[in-house]
Amino acid sequence: MYENVFKRVEEKYVLNKKQKEKFFQKVNPYLQPNRFFEATICNIYFDTQNYDLIVHSLEKPPFKEKIRLRSYNVPTLEDTVYLEIKNKYKGIVGKRRVKMKLSEFYEYLNTKKYKQNNQIMREIDYYFTYYKLKPTLYIAYDRQSYMGADNPNLRITLDTNLRSRKEDLFLELGDAGKKYFKEEIYIMEIKTLGAMPLWLVQVLSELKIYPTSFSKYGSIYGRDKQIDKENAYVY
């Protein structure tokens, strides 16, 4: 159970190709590839009919949360997926998830009965029932994952080719989607249980790479909402 509960500090950085290359030239001696180094991360986000969860999140409250179904690469019905609650409170990110087969998730979604009677699943079920959640957005990106060579609690992920779709909201239907960035842009996340190591702080400072607020779900929702608004004035 404990490997499915995370609580850590996360900082995000949006890098162009040149920044990415310079950064990893300097930090490579301190890092090693994670166990699953390369993967396509596939997500289905769940929200209310009126997108209340993401609208609330974009207002930048002290506490916010998201519900999603995640797989590492495109799954079959018999492959493992993770049903997750991700929340953030004053800069501290918490994540709780339940591991299951994709077919078991669909069984839960159709019957609202779940086989794993644990605290995390009961909490997830409460969200689905109380908010009447439904799938609202598919998001995928290609990820490289690193960990500290001498510090396994330091994680750095690099995401690129961010894409999404509002139709065919099933993980098993492939990872195609509309690209978010026109250029080659990377979203880097640095995840630690405490303070960053000094060498990492020095590299970020030297290259003038600064943290930014970037939510994949929030950014794509905002873009799509703006497009829908503009199209409403086209007759």
Residue 193 pLDDT: 87
Q: How far apart are CA 185 and CA 166, in angstroms?
A: 22
Q: How far apart are CA 183 and CA 143, in angstroms?
A: 17
Strands (E), the chain: 5-16, 31-47, 63-72, 80-89, 92-101, 134-148, 155-165, 178-179, 185-192
Structural domain that includes position 164: 2-231
Residue 235 pLDDT: 39
The answer to whether residue 145 scores a pLDDT higher than 70 is yes
Residue 195 pLDDT: 87
Question: For position 80, which CATH number holds?
Answer: 3.20.100.30
CB–CB of 102/83 below 8 Å?
Answer: no
The answer to whether residue 234 scores a pLDDT higher than 70 is no
* The model's pTM: 0.92
Number of other CB atoms surrounding residue 46 within 10 Å: 21
The answer to whether residue 165 scores a pLDDT higher than 50 is yes
Residue 1 pLDDT: 40
pLDDT tens for 96-139 read 999 999 999 999 999 988 888 889 999 999 999 999 999 999 99
Q: How far apart are CA 216 and CA 213, in angstroms?
A: 10
Out of 59-63, 79-83, 126-130, pick the least confident.
59-63
- Name residue 97's beta-bridge partners: 84
* pLDDT (mean) for 2-9: 61
**Tokens 């299951």 appear where?**
100
DSSP one-letter code for 171: G
Number of domains in the chain: 1
Q: How far apart are CA 160 and CA 138, in angstroms?
A: 16
The answer to whether residue 92 scores a pLDDT higher than 90 is no
Q: How far apart are CA 173 and CA 231, in angstroms?
A: 28
Top pLDDT among 93 and 3 is at 93
- Name residue 92's beta-bridge partners: 9, 89
* 58 CB-contact burial (10 Å; exposed 0-12 / middle 13-18 / buried 19+): middle
pLDDT tens for 15-42 read 999 999 999 999 999 999 998 899 999 9
Residue 117 pLDDT: 83
Q: Estimate the crossing angle of helix 17-27 against helix 198-206, to 10 degrees.
A: 150
Residues 6 or more apart in contact with residue 5 via CB below 8 angstroms: 94, 95, 96, 97, 120
The answer to whether residue 228 scores a pLDDT higher than 80 is no
Q: Which residues of 204-230 are buried (b: 16+ CB within 10 A; e: fewer)?
A: beeeebeeeeebbbbbbbeeeeeeeee
